[in-house]
Structure 1
Amino acid sequence: MRLNLRKRTPLPVEPGTAGPVRVDPRTKTLTKRLKPGDIAVIDHLDIDRVSAEALVSCRPAAVLNAARSTSGRYPNLGPEILVGAGIPLVDDLGPDIMTLTDGRTVRVLGGVVHEGDKVLAEGIEQTPETIAVNLEAAREGLSEQLESFAANTMDFLRRERDLLLDGVGVPDIDTVIDGRHVLIVVRGYHYKADLATLRPYIVEYRPVLIGVDGGADAILEAGWTPQLIVGDMDSVSDKALRCGAEVVVHAYRDGRAPGLERVENLGVKHVVFPATGTSEDVAMLLADDKGAELIVAVGTHATLVEFLDKGRSGMASTFLTRLRVGSKLVDAKGVSRLYRARISNVQLGLLVLAGLFALGVALASTAAGQTLIGLAGARFDDLFSWVGSLFGGA
């Protein structure tokens, strides 16, 4: 009986990048459920550095942006980070791309998004060359943003003068801060590495640990427990809110507090802090008003580009807040890059072994050392004989 064996012709592989889509207009919300191989669909004007690094850590197959990844307002670094990580980035696809439902499989080829033979949307595929051109154009328009930033700063100063100068409106809290160090953690640039570098400081000084929204999860991931969680509760996990930390809900000046309902539903003890500006400003002002001896900040915003990276006028408050608490503020952002040990643990271990070997050779070359080695050998013989007798008896 003859078997007719025929080679199976492999199916043709379609060009481009294919995968299931995950859709969310808020990038930081999307990254919580984005898996490797998924295609991220976002609506993010001027992708900032933090958002880009969060996307890269999720390892998506591609990123589709309904908006322009660089609008020209300022030289944002997000697109360069994504493309540098080898992730295809297509932007300016238009609002219709946001109507896709999670799980639908699409294929991205160049700047075109396909579903089967159907073209869903067309945009602009970013390359190192296009990004360089966009950044150069953005640098030319930076002066306009500087003027806007200065105007926002003066407006914030007029509206929050009493809070900045006299601490009017700061709520009472149970956590004791007076006379202690405070470590404020924000999930910003290099926060993980900086938090790890500060581990000896945390062990020695036992500072009050304050997590700003998702910064509370960063503290938990590092093996610590926050004493205070400050923010509008949009990026902190339920696990962090239930960890036993005191919660300060950041509210708008008109009384609206988007995160209040969530905290109340969890049954977490909390207070409300109405203030203009950002949650990291609220954390710094709270620590300063309650008598912190030193405020150490990790992952917070410190430079003008970082202020503009947030994409909102309220970042002017951070500038003034830093002036307000500057006498006791230590910015630990980037401390992990300040010094890196040039000797690895393996090299250090080999060095110790080499030292012990040299010490043994030196002892063996002297009469006293030979006597000591002989006594040690006799002790080991007695130990082995005793262990052997135990097993022999058994």
Structure 2
Amino acid sequence: MHVPPGWLDAQRIRVYAAFVLLVNIGYFALRIWFGCIDRIPNVSPPGWDFAVFWSASWLALHGPAASVFDTALIERIALPLQNMLPTPFVTPWTYPPTFLLVMLPAALLPFPVSCFVYVSAGIAFAYHVCARILPTVRHPGWWLPVVAFPAIWVAAGAGQNSFLTFGLMGLGLIALERRPWLAGILFGLLAIKPQLGLVIPLVLLFGRHWRAFASAALTVGVFCALTGLVLGFDTFVRFAQALPAFNQFVVEYSDRWPRGISTVFGAARHFGVAVPTAYALHAVVAALAASAVAWLWATRAAFELRASALVLATLLVPTYLMPYDLLLLGLPLLWLIRDAARNGWIRGDGVAMVSAWLSPLIFYTPGNWAAGVYVPVIVFALLMVVVRRCVAQQAAHASECASMALACERSGSNVCGR
């Protein structure tokens, strides 16, 4: 273990973060100018994804809730809000009915007001979780790198649900040891975006968190039942029917997706790999990530490392991932900082962590660069940092125990036995 890398001293961190913050503000300002004021066609103003959420809410409030799965109906409302012309890249509602239930009240407010309230509440929730993980984020010296994290600006600009999923996963992990029933409820609420909950059952099983597992399963059941009662159970039928079509759309355009799909599958397709082979490569990496998570949780590694591995695997297992989902990278970055403060740094940790912190900047690159296809390499590298830290800590602990045993043997004491 080593001290923090010299090139990451406090002064340099502030300078780098200030520069990235200016880039974020500049891009956000351009979106406002060309999307709201000058209104150049196909330049969306902030809230472009929330426009789909708001449109779905409006349709659900004014007619059968299942109508949200009619792309023609939802585009009629969403495209003007997005300042978009019809394109082959459709604007469908592909979320489960559980998320529609959460967003149902959105259209009770005008679109700009509703978007501001939604994003502000999400940011406040996510900040609360950050402060629980690393209380020093409240310190003035920390606000700059936290606020400058590009994923915050990407998620806020899109009006995405990333702040909500960030908070649910982060707070669920925080509560897992002491309040497992609450943790299960929070994990169960991730049914609003099921692909982000794929690794959680594995963690609860290998970590032997049976109460949290039962609570999560019960929460998902109640959540779905309540959704069916409020919106109609036919929404689940329509959702199941819509998924294959969206999956086919993603596969069809995966090799030329703007900025690339930030998964192993997306990267493979971008470089011309056939669909079956791309799925196979993705499955191999997903299996490696899941195996690392299972090992860390089964061996009861340091909590910070276990939690980090869960989040990183969550970003590696789904085949479809967008830049705003990279907000989740904030969780392992905070936990790794906390672990490094306690156990020291290892050479190379800083490079991997800074690369992960910068990775959401790919959203600002031209679409034909497809820079997002390189993100899985960074995420997997950060997962290897977690695994390496666990191995190093286990070796250090074994060495310490061996030294103590040797000292006891030489002194003829049986203190170690007691």
Length-normalised TM-score, structure 2: 0.25
**Structure of larger gyration radius:** 1
Q: Going by fraction, where is strand more abundant, 1 or 2?
A: 1
In the superposition, the TM-score normalised over structure 1's length comes to 0.26
